[in-house]
Amino acid sequence: MNLSSLSFFRNLRTEKRQFAVIGLGRFGRAVCATLHGLGYEVMGIDADEKRVARVLSDRIATHALELDSTDFTALKEAGVFELDTVIVAIGNYLEASIITTLNLKEGGVKNVVTKASSEIHEKLLKKVGADLVVFPEHEMGCTLARSITKPSILDRFELDPENSIVEVIVPEEFHGKTIADLQLRSRYGLNLLAVSQNNKFIINPPPDARLIGGTAMVVIGSNKDIERLPI
Ligand code: ATP
């Protein structure tokens, strides 16, 4: 997620929210199961009877319905337009994904999140009113490539294309040095936000705190500066 998603997330209500997930493939099922596990009401929808039956037997949705989401009336009768957030998890059927998104927006659903499989798919989805378009395979692929090439970066939160907050393994070169010795800000252009100790993080550690190689630290800075760390 990035700054362009900000307005979408800012407008989401936080309470009493009900969701529907249309398309119960691997991605749709994961969204359903997580929402359900978090205690939200979630309706699972698919045109395939077996997939509908499976989410019910696996108990990963509150309700599940077999319907064709390209049919405006079917969605209306199922009460889908009354929900505030609907996730369209139909990636491979371009036409069905676009028509479903259009139906949901025309039916008055406030927040429609749709999974896209290509850039042109994304463009079309935006034209028919999708509020947020996601590329789960693309995003996971980028994350995986980063973690296998830089295994010392444990986690990364991209603030924008140029700047990130990263959790990294403290390099051996930093072992035993204090934060003041390292001069991360002047030498690397990075700010140290936290260091790990006994499975917890110390936020804003004092300048005389000593770093221990192999533990974790969290820094904020430009991607270019993060690349200069000896990790
Ligand atoms: P994933 O990659 O998440 O595993 P998938 O490869 O199983 O998904 P997709 O092609 O993205 O499949 O489709 C996801 C689901 O959407 C399928 O279960 C399919 O039956 C359902 N689906 C496709 N068209 C419609 C439609 N018009 N109405 C309702 N469900 C649909």
**Do residues 101 and 158 share a domain?**
no
Q: Which of 75, 90, 125, 134 to mutate to test the pocket of ligand 1 (most atoms within 8 A of CB)?
A: 90
State whether the beta carbon of 115 lies less than 6 angstroms from ligand 1: no
SS3 labels along 35-50: HHHCCCEEEEEECCHH
Structure tokens, 49: 């009877």
Which of 114, 137, 160 is a domain's end point? 137
Distance in angstroms (rounded) separating the CA atoms of residues 155 and 74:
43
**Do residues 122 and 193 share a domain?**
no
Q: Is residue 68 part of a domain?
A: yes
**Do residues 58 and 36 share a domain?**
yes
**Do residues 110 and 188 share a domain?**
no
Our CA angle for 107, 111, 114, nearest 5°, is 95
Alpha-helical runs (H) found in 107-219? 119-127, 136-149, 179-182
State whether the beta carbon of 90 lies less than 6 angstroms from ligand 1: yes
**Do residues 100 and 132 share a domain?**
yes
Distance in angstroms (rounded) separating the CA atoms of residues 32 and 36:
6
Q: What residue owns the CA closest to ligand 1's atom 12? A: 25
Q: Is residue 143 part of a domain?
A: no
Q: What residue owns the CA closest to ligand 1's atom 23? A: 90
Q: Is residue 115 part of a domain?
A: yes
Measured in angstroms, how far is the CA atom of residue 173 from the centroid of ligand 1? 50
Q: Is residue 45 part of a domain?
A: yes
Secondary structure E strands in 60-190: 63-66, 85-88, 111-115, 132-134, 153-158, 163-169
What CATH number should be reported for the domain holding residue 165? 3.30.70.1450
Q: Is residue 93 part of a domain?
A: yes
Distance in angstroms (rounded) separating the CA atoms of residues 85 and 108:
11
What pLDDT does residue 231 have?
A: 80
State whether the beta carbon of 69 lies less than 6 angstroms from ligand 1: yes
Q: Is residue 75 part of a domain?
A: yes
**Do residues 121 and 152 share a domain?**
no
**Do residues 33 and 106 share a domain?**
yes
Measured in angstroms, how far is the CA atom of residue 107 from the centroid of ligand 1? 21
Q: Which atom of ligand 1 is nearest to the CA of 137?
A: 2
Q: Which atom of ligand 1 is nearest to the CA of 69?
A: 28
**Do residues 9 and 30 share a domain?**
yes
What pLDDT does residue 164 have?
A: 93
- Residue 163's domain spans which residues? 148-227
Rg (CA), the chain: 22
What CATH number should be reported for the domain holding residue 10? 3.40.50.720
Distance in angstroms (rounded) separating the CA atoms of residues 125 and 104:
12
**Do residues 133 and 111 share a domain?**
yes
Q: Is residue 55 part of a domain?
A: yes
What burial class does residue 129 get, using C-beta atoms within 10 Å of its C-beta: 0-12 exposed, 13-18 middle, 19+ buried?
A: middle
What pLDDT does residue 3 have?
A: 61
What pLDDT does residue 57 have?
A: 97
**Do residues 10 and 112 share a domain?**
yes
What burial class does residue 230 get, using C-beta atoms within 10 Å of its C-beta: 0-12 exposed, 13-18 middle, 19+ buried?
A: exposed
Domain count, the chain: 2
pLDDT in 10s for each residue of the chain, 231 residues: 566 676 777 777 666 688 999 999 999 999 999 999 999 999 999 999 999 999 999 999 999 999 999 999 999 999 999 999 999 999 889 999 999 999 999 999 999 999 999 999 999 999 999 999 999 998 889 888 888 888 888 988 888 889 999 999 999 999 999 999 999 999 999 999 999 988 899 999 999 999 999 899 999 999 999 989 988
Which of 104, 137, 170 is a domain's end point? 137
**Do residues 130 and 163 share a domain?**
no
What pLDDT does residue 136 have?
A: 92
Q: What residue owns the CA closest to ligand 1's atom 24? A: 96
What pLDDT does residue 151 have?
A: 81
Q: Is residue 152 part of a domain?
A: yes
**Do residues 117 and 71 share a domain?**
yes
State whether the beta carbon of 64 lies less than 6 angstroms from ligand 1: no
Which of 137, 158, 185 is a domain's end point? 137
